[in-house]
Structure 1
Amino acid sequence: MFGDFIPLYITIAIATGLALTLLKAAELVGPKRPNRIKQSPYESGMDPIGSARERYSVKFYLVAMIFIVFDVEVVFMYPWAVSFHDFIAGGAALGVMIVVTIFAAILAIGLVYDIKKGGLDFEQ
């Protein structure tokens, strides 16, 4: 079993070695002329306004969590969609469809709950 993956391990080792070698070469050969402008924070070509230590609203994190949940949902649904033809051929299409519908319904209920609680309303 291990022998089947030797080409993969060699490719990973070569890619890692090449990446590290090129990073080190760029660090050694590249110009080093630091100045105040190069070391200042960059905000889309504008001078930074305010402190970088400001706290984000909790709603920012809630939206990020919703994104992650639905991203994971897509990760779980993609293999199901790719294999659905095989489920039809095997006679398990109805059972699999019910399970996936329950999975999507639970997430949809969570999204509706979040909308009702105002989790996506940023005007407050």
Structure 2
Amino acid sequence: MSGSYLGSYATLGLLLLAGAVVFVAAFSANRLLRPGAPANPPGKTQSYECGLDPVGGDWAQAQIRYYVYAFLYVLFAVEAVFLFPWAVIFDRPGFGAATVVEMAIFVAVLALGILYAWRKRTLHWT
């Protein structure tokens, strides 16, 4: 029994050693095969905005409401990911009242979320 116990540590050690060898070999091959450092032409590190020279500062204010709309979209897109497959297999045998209750709870939690957003006037575009 002790042989198999130590054997599992030997296997782990060999695996770690093989991983380290692969790591070192990959980075060595990268260093040997990469091209030399190219010369940086003037303007390469300058920001690019649709072919125009960047004008103004680098700080811009973003409205938080855009992120709220994006979050709500993702929330209800995820709901669709769960709801549509459930609706497709709902009428198959073996799916009974338990699946209806589970989906009702899921939709109720999402409805509470949209009700909260509506009450906080998050869904108004003003």
Category of TM-score, reference length = shorter chain: 0.5 to 0.7
RMSD: 3.7
Q: Which residue of structure 1 lines up, in the alignment, with residue 125 of structure 2?
A: 122
Partner Cα separation in structure 1 for residue 99 and residue 83 of structure 2: 11
2:100 to 80, 97, 100: 97
**The structure with more radius of gyration:** 2
Question: Could you say what secondary structure the match of 1:89 adopts?
Answer: coil
Structure 2 counterpart of 1:72, which letter? V
Deviation for aligned residue 1:53 = 4.8
AA matched with 2:93: A
Q: Does 1:77 align with 2:83?
A: yes
| Structure 2 residue runs without a partner (length 5+) | 1-55
Letter in 2 for 1:80: W
The one-letter code sitting in structure 1 at the alignment partner of 2:115 is V
TM-score (norm 1): 0.53
Please state whether the residue corresponding to 2:124 is helix, strand or coil.
coil
Q: Which has the higher helix share?
A: 1
What are structure 1's unaligned runs of at least 5 residues?
Answer: 1-49
Cα 1:111–1:52 change in 2 (3 A) is farther
- Residue number in structure 2 paired with 1:59: 65
CA distance in 2, matches of 1:52, 1:63: 25
Q: What is the total number of aligned residue pairs between the two structures?
A: 100
Which residue number in structure 1 is paired with residue 32 of structure 2?
Answer: none
Q: Which of residues 88, 106, 110 in structure 1 aligns to 2:109?
A: 106
Query: Identity of paired residues, percent?
Result: 32
Q: In the aligned structure 2, how far is the partner of 1:68 from the partner of 1:104?
A: 15
Name which structure has the greater RCO, CA cutoff 8 Å, separation 6+. 1
